[in-house]
Each structure stands twice: as structure tokens, then as C-alpha cells.
Amino acid sequence: MVQVKDLHVAFSDHGHLEEAVHGISFTIDDGEIVGIVGESGSGKTQTALAMAGLSPRHAQLTGEISIDGKNLVGMSRDDLRSMQGNEITMVFQEPMTSLNPTMRIGRQVEEALAIHTNLSKDERREKALQAMRDVELPDVDRAYRKYPHEMSGGQRQRVMIASAIIGHPKLLIADEPTTALDVTIQAEILKLLQKLNVEKGMSILFISHDLRVIRKLCSRVIVMNQGLIVEEGPVEEVFNHPKDDYTKKLIASIPTRKRVSE
């Protein structure tokens, strides 16, 4: 369904090009959950932003990102915008920075519908409430009228996921969506993503620096280092028989007791 081919992401800096992603290729099948793991600065977020059509303006992309046969690289801003929401959406690490503190939750969840559809106010509200139920927010009628600061961190991340899934996207890109949350809440959000994957048939690209989280959620993992894919394969295979030295180091850095008990 999604095919990334020889993707390069570069930034021009005083006339010379600094490349963050050096030509990577991978695919995501319908309904699949794929993980990207790699240390800070390895190019995970820039890869994700390119796939969501959200690269910074000064980024230069080459290669191909096809979603259902349409290539995002070189697409106009308007065409990209029309793909966002119903084809691809993205949730970020810190929901507080993505949410507008002065706007009620319900309005933010249904924002994509206000932009992309001709639905009436009541129809948008109905769909927003349904999306909020889908992400298992309690008491959605009250939550609809709340402001972001009146919710917990985990609830805010559910709100972000609700606004991401309201347009029934084929692919959800989640960039470190649980890193800012404590372990219990993290586990609940992972369960929710699994449920949405099964019930909605939505593919997920899940980005994390934590290989243990990837192992719980994903069927396949892509390991990035310094802007390149150094290893890729089924999670258990990569975890138990890593081929690349960098992957071996990542796995070795997980405390042994945890590895045995999992």
C-alpha cells in the first residue's frame, strides 16, 4: 500500500546541502504495523514527516513515497493537504504542543472535518463523539466541552489519536506517541493502537527509540542509523538474531532481566 523508494531528505544550509535521510526504501502493507527504531538524529522523524506531507518548508525531498499509487514527493501543498486526514495522518510525542489550549476538545477533534468535508455542525459533532468513543475516552459528552488542560496526559494523547482517525486514514504515523507518558499509560495507548489497527484495518507506522515497545506492537521493524536503514525484518527475527552491529548494540543496551522476563 505504501512504498518508499530511495527517499532522500536534505536541508540547504548557506548554499550547501545537509542530508538527514540518505536514500531509504521500504514498504508498508495494508493493515500492517511497522516500527522504526533508531537513536536520536537517525532520521526517523524526518522520514515520518516526509510521508505525512509535513516536511519543513526548507526540506528538499527526492525519491518516491507512493500511497495507493499517488507519489507524495513533488506534490503541491494543496494536493498534500487533501491527502492528509483520509489517507495519512500523524500523531506526535507531546500532545500538549499539538493541541490548541484555548479551543475546546470537541472542536479540535472535528477540525479535519470542518476543513475537508461539507458536513453540518451536528454531523461533525456526532462523528467527533464517535471518534472519542473509539479511543475510549470516558464521558465523551463532557470531554467534548473540555479544554486540553482539563485532561490528563494520557487522555490528551487519546484526543490526538481521535482527531487523527476521524477521517478514516489508511495509514497512521505515530512518532514517539507514548514517550512522554508513564509506563502504565503507555501500555494502554499501545493497546488502543492495536485495537484501532484490527477494528479499522488501519496501517500504522510506529516510531520509537525503544525496541521493547516496538517488539510489543509491531510485526516488522526497520532499524535506522545515521539516515540509513541498517536492518529490517520481522520483529522476533531482528530481536533474536540481529545481523547488523548497530542493531546488536541496541538490543544489548536493553537490561538483561527485562529481556528474559518478556
Binding site for Mg ion (CB under 5 A): 45
Residue 168 interacting partner from ligand ATP, Mg ion, none (CB closer than 5 to 8 Å by kind): none
Neighbours of 249 (CB within 10 A): 12
Among 8, 35, 37, 45, binds ligand ATP (CB under 6 A): 45
Q: Which helix (H) or strand (E) holds 194?
A: helix 183-200
C-alpha to C-alpha distance for 81 and 261, rounded to whole angstroms: 45
Does position 155 interact with ligand ATP (CB under 6 A)? The reply is no
* Minimum CB distance to ligand ATP smaller for 111 or for 210: 210
Does position 41 interact with ligand ATP (CB under 6 A)? The reply is yes
Among 107, 146, 209, 216, binds ligand ATP (CB under 6 A): 209
Neighbours of 179 (CB within 10 A): 14
Residue 253 interacting partner from ligand ATP, Mg ion, none (CB closer than 5 to 8 Å by kind): none
Residue type for position 153: G
DSSP string, 106-140: HHHHTHHHHHH----HHHHHHHHHHHHHHTT-SSH
Could you tell me the smallest distance in angstroms from the CB atom of residue 208 to ligand ATP? 9
Q: Which residues bind ligand ATP (CB under 6 A)?
A: 11, 20, 38, 40-46, 56, 209
